[in-house]
Amino acid sequence: FFFHDHKVSSTAWLGLEETMKFLSSGHDTYHTRSKSVSLEENKFALAQQVCRNKEDPEYLIKLWIDEYIGYGVYVLKDLVKGEFICEYPGELISDTERNLRIEQYDQEDLGSYIFDVQIENKKYILDATRSTRIGRYINDSPPRHINALPKVIHVDQKVYLCFFAAKDIPKNTEVRYSYSSKNLTWRSKARYARPINLKESPETTDDITKNSMAN
């Protein structure tokens, strides 16, 4: 996965161990026709709606944090563990296509948003580089600080990658998951290693105030 606003030169692999740890804690991979789901039906219905309609939940907002880390994604309401957050809006591509696109984006001097994930021994590659939807802007944290994890769901026989809460997430908290790469500069800085609350970022607080007034 390539971090937005920073030109990272190689993809970061989201390991199977980290994802399966979440899946094995009582949260099953979702299928639209499965009767055994671990969340209430209305929460999965929201995931289906988002994936079908290509829309983002109203309880999320993209806000500017600062020049170093760029944008972040915040929740505007409390979320409980296991609750749907958003879709990662990527185009499903092959290994070959990924390599071609990485070269292309390097030539165009674009930050690349290619996400490799392996779940249940199957590999998925999604490219959200040209997407403007909110899931693209979720920042990285080391595993000990994450509050979101990706999961593959199937809607209308199509594969989608979505984020679900790895723990309870209080209102006004930034959403974070692990890019699973240890060589990320912001991880060495205490301020950026964990989710940033709106109270910790005056610039971001000003932005959300302006947004509320506009609406």
Per-residue pLDDT of the chain (215 residues; tens, 9 = 90+): 433 333 332 333 343 344 334 434 444 444 444 444 445 566 788 899 999 999 999 999 999 998 888 899 999 999 999 999 999 988 889 999 999 999 999 999 887 788 887 767 778 888 999 899 999 999 989 999 999 998 888 899 888 989 999 999 999 999 999 887 777 788 888 888 899 988 776 454 444 444 443 43
Beta bridge partners of 71: 64
Domain architecture of the chain: domains with CATH: 10-25+32-212 (2.170.270.10)
Contacts of residue 61, defined as CB under 8 A and 6 or more positions apart, other chains included, come to 73, 74, 76, 134, 208, 211
Beta bridge partners of 72: 63
pLDDT of residue 213: 38
Helix (H, G, I), strand (E, B) or coil at 18: helix
pLDDT of residue 41: 66
CA distances, 185 to each of 72, 182, 189 (Å): 17, 9, 8
How many CB atoms within 10 Å of residue 27? 17
What is the pTM assigned to this prediction? Answer: 0.73
Contact 11, 125 (CB under 8 A): no
Give the closest residue to 94 by CA, choosing from 125, 127, 129.
125
pLDDT of residue 57: 95
Q: What phi-psi label fits residue 121: left (phi over 0), alpha (psi between -120 and 50 degrees) or beta?
A: left
